Amino acid sequence: MTSAILVSILMTLVAASTPILLAALGELVVEKAGVLNLGVEGVMLTGAVAGFAVAYSTGSTGAGLVAALVAGVATAMVFAVLTLSLTANQVATGLALTIFGIGASSLIGAGFVGRTITRLGPAFPEALSGHPLLRAVLGHDIVVYLSLALVLAVSFFLNRTRPGLILRAVGENDASAHAIGYRVIAIRYAAITFGGALAGLAGAYFSLALTPMWADSLTAGRGWIALALVVFAAWRPARLLLGAYLFGAVMTAELQFKAAGVTVLPPEALAMAPYLATIAVLTMMSLGPKSGRANAPACLGKPFSAS
Amino acid sequence: MTPSRLALAHISKSFPGVKANEDISLSVRPGEIHALLGENGAGKSTLVKIIYGVQQADEGAIQWDGSPVAIPSPKAARKLGIGMVFQHFSLFDAMSVIENIALGLDEAVDRDVLKARVAAILDSYSLPLDPERAVHTLSVGERQRIEIVRCLLQKPKLLIMDEPTSVLTPQEVERLFLTLRQIAMGGCAILYISHKLHEIKALCEAATILRGGKVVATCDPKVESTKRMAELMIGAELRQIERKPGGEAGAARLSVKALSLDGEPPFGTDLEAVTFEARAGEILGIAGVAGNGQSELLTALSGERLAGSANAIALDGRPIGREGAGPRRALGLACVPEERNGHAAVPDFSLADNAVLTARHRLPLAPLGVISRGDVARFATAVIQRFDVRTTGPAALARSLSGGNLQKFIMGREIGQTPSVLVVCQPTWGVDAGAAAAIRQELVDLAAKGSAVVVISQDLDELLELADRLCVINEGRLSAARDVATLGIDEIGLMMGGVHGADAPHGADAHA
């Protein structure tokens, strides 16, 4: 009995962690290329609404996930054109993108408020995950496994492949990379495309898997947590995984306390926990030794124009 | 006779408003080390960019091993066998040496294969360099070796070195010359760009001297006198610094006692108990290879970062360690940082506005905080005239000036306030010889009037010419000051090398 409860808590934890992990992983690649996209929250929301709209109309969550991916890339491209081709300020553009995402998703989603769809199901047949322990390993949906595989893939790409080396070089010193002959802008476009796709997918995870019902701003600031997490992880995919699950645990604890009726703290204070944790983590990182920040891409947030 | 490796015939190149290269011909034989000599703006870099395919000539022809070629891109140049080591390295600080080398190659090479090839090159040229070290931990000489290894991996037939010694210690220069001679012995032609004449005499067999975009002379530097080459290069008699003799140094104006400060993140150098005195009437030189704490020292003195205790820095006996930049300026401590655009001056402000920013503390340019336009314009105009700044006037934007001209303006702005103590970092970096001589003369004159001048520079020749006393900064520690008259250049070089050990045997360098 207790094992069943533990497994159920674990399932909630994994589900809560997955979208943060996806969005943060995308942003990590973007930042490694030297671009700071503060619009993650906005991209997630457009992904969430596009995914829900398509899933609702077609009845297929798979189609919804693909639509979210495309919507995420499209929104990120707005950011890319503004900041890379037109060298607009990255911070301002990112903030604008978030506000745009909140507004656009609310507008598009107006007709869907309160509607429900079939939730994204487990990746493997029920038969395989009958036993609670098996369920803990095999009972998740496809996006969970995808996110874990992507952590490995991104880590391998950045540290073991030549394109990954070039991407890091562009984020480290864009002028040098340009001088050697690498196409800084093209590489950054590619990185932002990847980041947009993952943020879109992360957003859809909210509307298709976590709460299969549309509500305004349902990502509830998780995009910002993803951004903070990249710093927390010191731009390392493995630490990102750890961090995302840590935040997932904090959020799950909040839900569990609420469900159990623990009234030591008001529910609003509990709801604040993940964001307080974000601030605490960022403070610790900034006070920490220099080595923590040494891994930051040196050209992060700086516009580049070849001249 | 074998054909020239590279022969340029009647190369011309114009940019809007300037003729950068006009009718330039030169040829380099295999195995020859050929000097390209000229002032800033003489057209050296344009010519080299044409050879390396970065830019295209308007007129003229290029021959390679006797046959005419077009070089449309750096990639095409590398394919011909042209390698280039730029003055500004294209390196990535946070990455390892081997990653940096891999990034410099046009094609993907398996890491283990690359390691073996790099090891073979390091071995055959006996170059000490650890492939696994992160670049930010390396000395400038070691960084340059990365660029050289990048070139050597492509088996070059012509190697272009652009001002390679500007930031090296004398020992590192010797080391580099050995390597270059060995490369030339292997049949590779070397085009060596510099304005340091004694180096060219020591290294090169032929020299082409450029001035104003044209070839003014070709000579054998081993035979031609240094003075003659300098005059050909500048097109005028070389100005010597005039010193009034017998100026005894007076009381200490700036005293720094056990100043410690954390390095600037992420890769800064911690200052450790820096102690020195600058006395009235003297120029104190601080030598050292870049990145050994110079920028930390400058920001600590300027007041951009405060010392731990007020007594760590004293100006005319008054503790100012906890005062900010404004009060320090008001008391008479002026600082000129190395970075002109963005640190010493705001690029998008006019010269007049830039003058207000630092001079308002000592001159009545903004009484009660209201800027007095007329006084500011008069002050800026006076600086422009006295320091011969080539510009359209006080309303010109700082960014529109060339590096040398902006430096003249900044130096003039500070010297025009007759500070008690002036601290300058790299006062003549990238400034042509004529303007550099003028700036140095102003520093000498300022000291002669009783101010103390502290010059932080990587250019030893400059320090030996200017300074009365010299100390060396190395890994954040400052040596005791020594009279320049009693110091040999080898001795300074050893002090500068410190634990970085330019010539330390591979793996034996102490990194305690």
What CATH number does residue A184 fall under? Answer: 1.10.3470
Chain A residues within an 8 Å CB radius of B93:
172-173, 298
Asked if B72 is an interface residue toward chain A (Cβ–Cβ < 8 A), one would say no
Q: Kindly report the nearest CA distance between residue B92 and chain A, in angstroms.
A: 6
Specify the CATH class of B252-339+420-510 in words: alpha beta
Under the phi-then-psi rule, with left for phi > 0, alpha for psi from -120 to 50, and beta for the rest, what region is B193? beta
The band of B498, judged by pLDDT with boundaries at 50, 70 and 90, is low
Nearest to B460 by CA among B145, B165, B161, B88: B165
For residue A282, the surrounding DSSP H or E stretch is helix A267-287
Separation CA B283–CA B185 (nearest Å): 44
Q: Does the beta-carbon distance from B266 to A168 stay under 8 Å? A: no
Q: Partners of B162 in the beta sheet? A: B193
- pLDDT value at position B500? 39
Interface test with B, best of A172, A231, A286 (most B CBs within 10 A): A172
Chain B residues within an 8 Å CB radius of A180:
90, 103-104
Indicate whether A151 pLDDT > 90: yes
Tell me the whole-structure pTM to 2 decimals. 0.77
DSSP code string of B423-474? EEESTTTT--HHHHHHHHHHHHHHHHTT-EEEEE-S-HHHHHHH-SEEEEEE
Interface test with A, best of B79, B91, B92, B146 (most A CBs within 10 A): B92
- pLDDT value at position A157? 97
- pLDDT value at position B503? 38
Q: Chain B: residue nearest A159 by CA?
A: B99
Q: Kindly report the nearest CA distance between residue A97 and chain B, in angstroms.
A: 29
Q: Is residue A287 part of a domain?
A: yes
Interface test with B, best of A160, A165, A287 (most B CBs within 10 A): A165
DSSP code string of A6-70? HHHHHHHHHHHHHHHHHHHHHHHHHHHTT---TTHHHHHHHHHHHHHHHHHHHS-HHHHHHHHHH
The band of B501, judged by pLDDT with boundaries at 50, 70 and 90, is very low
Of B90, B99, B266, which is closest to A179 when you measure between CB atoms? B90
Report whether B101 contacts B151 (CB < 8 A).
Answer: no
Indicate whether A101 pLDDT > 70: yes
DSSP collapsed to 3 states, A186-248:
HHHHHHHHHHHHHHHHHHHHHHHHHCCEECCCCCCCHHHHHHHHHHHCCCCHHHHHHHHHHHH
Q: Does the beta-carbon distance from B266 to A296 stay under 8 Å? A: yes
- pLDDT value at position B502? 38
Q: Does the beta-carbon distance from B90 to A176 stay under 8 Å? A: yes
Whole-number CA gyration radius for chain B: 24
Q: What is the mean pLDDT of residues A93-110?
A: 95
What stretches of B238-396 show up as alpha helix (H) in DSSP? 294-302, 325-331, 351-359, 373-386
Cβ contacts below 8 Å, chain A against chain B, sum to 51
What whole-number percentage of chain B has pLDDT above 90?
Answer: 55
Of A165, A172, A182, which is closest to B94 when you measure between CB atoms? A172
Neighbours of A239 (CB within 10 A): 16
Interface test with B, best of A31, A160, A162, A168 (most B CBs within 10 A): A162
Q: Which residue has the tokens 């992990």?
A: A21
Number of domains in chain A: 1
Of A162, A169, A294, which is closest to B267 when you measure between CB atoms? A294
- A40-58 and A2-32 are packed helices; what angle lies between their axes, rounded to 10 degrees? 120
Q: Strand pairing of B206-211 and B33-38?
A: parallel
The band of A307, judged by pLDDT with boundaries at 50, 70 and 90, is low
Q: In whole angstroms, what separates CA B180 from the centre of its chain?
A: 21
What 3-state DSSP class applies to B49? helix
Indicate whether B499 pLDDT > 90: no
Of A165, A166, A176, which is closest to B91 when you measure between CB atoms? A176
- pLDDT value at position B509? 37
Q: Is residue A138 part of a domain?
A: yes
Sheet of B82-85, strands arranged across = B82-85, B158-162, B189-194, B33-38, B206-211, B214-219
Q: In whole angstroms, what separates CA B69 from the centre of its chain?
A: 34
- pLDDT value at position B226? 81
Q: Chain B: residue nearest A178 by CA?
A: B90
Longest dimension (CA), chain B: 78
- pLDDT value at position B239? 64
Asked if B89 is an interface residue toward chain A (Cβ–Cβ < 8 A), one would say yes
Q: Kindly report the nearest CA distance between residue B103 and chain A, in angstroms.
A: 7
Q: Does the beta-carbon distance from A177 to B95 stay under 8 Å? A: no
Under the phi-then-psi rule, with left for phi > 0, alpha for psi from -120 to 50, and beta for the rest, what region is B345? beta
Q: Chain A: residue nearest B73 by CA?
A: A181
Specify the CATH class of B6-234 in words: alpha beta
The tens digit of pLDDT for each residue in A232-285 reads 888 999 999 999 998 898 888 887 887 777 777 777 777 787 778 778 877 776
Domain regions of chain B by residue span: 6-234, 252-339+420-510
Amino acid at A10: L
> Which residues, at least 6 apart from A72, have a Cβ–Cβ distance to it below 8 Å?
A43, A44, A46, A47, A196, A197, A198, A199, A200, A201, A203
Q: State residue B86 phi and psi, 5-degree precision.
A: -75, 160
- pLDDT value at position B244? 65
Q: In whole angstroms, what separates CA A30 from the centre of its chain?
A: 12
> Which residues, at least 6 apart from B160, have a Cβ–Cβ distance to it below 8 Å?
B48, B51, B52, B82, B83, B84, B85, B190, B191, B193
The tens digit of pLDDT for each residue in B331-376 reads 999 999 988 888 899 999 999 999 999 999 899 998 888 999 999 9
Separation CA B435–CA B234 (nearest Å): 11
Q: Is residue A229 part of a domain?
A: yes
Q: Chain A: residue nearest B104 by CA?
A: A180
- pLDDT value at position A288? 64
Residue B27: CA count within 13 A, CB half-sphere: 13
Of A165, A175, A296, which is closest to B102 when you measure between CB atoms? A165
Structure tokens that stand for B203 in this block: 């290294």
Of B103, B263, B265, which is closest to A165 when you measure between CB atoms? B103
Chain B residues within an 8 Å CB radius of A169:
92, 95, 103
- pLDDT value at position B504? 36
Q: Does the beta-carbon distance from A172 to B106 stay under 8 Å? A: no
Indicate whether B245 pLDDT > 70: no
Indicate whether A180 pLDDT > 60: yes
Asked if B91 is an interface residue toward chain A (Cβ–Cβ < 8 A), one would say yes
Asked if B399 is an interface residue toward chain A (Cβ–Cβ < 8 A), one would say no
- pLDDT value at position B432? 72
Of A166, A177, A298, which is closest to B94 when you measure between CB atoms? A298
The tens digit of pLDDT for each residue in B268-277 reads 889 999 999 9
DSSP code string of A283-305? HHHHHS-HHHHHTS-TTTT----
Indicate whether B512 pLDDT > 60: no
- pLDDT value at position B431? 75
Q: Kindly report the nearest CA distance between residue B90 and chain A, in angstroms.
A: 4
Distances (CA, A) of B472 to A72, B18, B290, B496, B498: 56, 41, 12, 6, 9
Separation CA B378–CA B384 (nearest Å): 10
Chain B residues within an 8 Å CB radius of A296:
266
Average pLDDT value over all residues in chain B: 87
Sheet of B59-64, strands arranged across = B18-28, B6-15, B59-64, B67-69
Selected residue with higher pLDDT from B139 and A16:
A16
The reply to whether omega before A212 is within 30° of 0 (cis) is no
Q: Does the beta-carbon distance from A180 to B103 stay under 8 Å? A: yes
The tens digit of pLDDT for each residue in A208-233 reads 999 888 999 899 899 999 999 998 88
Long-range CB contacts for residues A130-137, cutoff 8 Å, separation at least 24: A132/A3, A132/A4, A132/A7, A133/A3, A133/A7, A135/A7, A135/A11, A136/A7, A136/A10, A136/A11
Of B228-232, B373-377, B505-509, which gets the smallest average pLDDT? Answer: B505-509
What 3-state DSSP class applies to A141? strand
Q: Kindly report the nearest CA distance between residue A293 and chain B, in angstroms.
A: 7
What 3-state DSSP class applies to B210? strand
Q: Chain A: residue nearest B89 by CA?
A: A176
Asked if B265 is an interface residue toward chain A (Cβ–Cβ < 8 A), one would say yes
Asked if B87 is an interface residue toward chain A (Cβ–Cβ < 8 A), one would say no
Separation CA B476–CA B498 (nearest Å): 11
Interface test with B, best of A173, A174, A307 (most B CBs within 10 A): A173
Q: Which residues of A touch B (CB under 8 A)?
A: 162, 165-166, 168-169, 172-173, 175-177, 179-182, 290, 293-296, 298
- pLDDT value at position A3? 80
- pLDDT value at position B237? 66
Q: What is the mean pLDDT of residues B58-86?
A: 92
Asked if B93 is an interface residue toward chain A (Cβ–Cβ < 8 A), one would say yes
Print the domain residue range for A272.
Answer: 2-295
Q: Kindly report the nearest CA distance between residue B222 and chain A, in angstroms.
A: 35
Indicate whether A294 pLDDT > 70: no
Chain A residues within an 8 Å CB radius of B74:
181
Chain B residues within an 8 Å CB radius of A172:
92-95
Of A237-246, B132-141, B183-192, B443-452, which gets the smallest average pLDDT? Answer: B132-141
Q: Does the beta-carbon distance from B74 to A168 stay under 8 Å? A: no
Q: Chain A: residue nearest B75 by CA?
A: A181
The band of B318, judged by pLDDT with boundaries at 50, 70 and 90, is very high
Q: Note whether B6-234 and B252-339+420-510 share their fold.
A: yes
Asked if B227 is an interface residue toward chain A (Cβ–Cβ < 8 A), one would say no
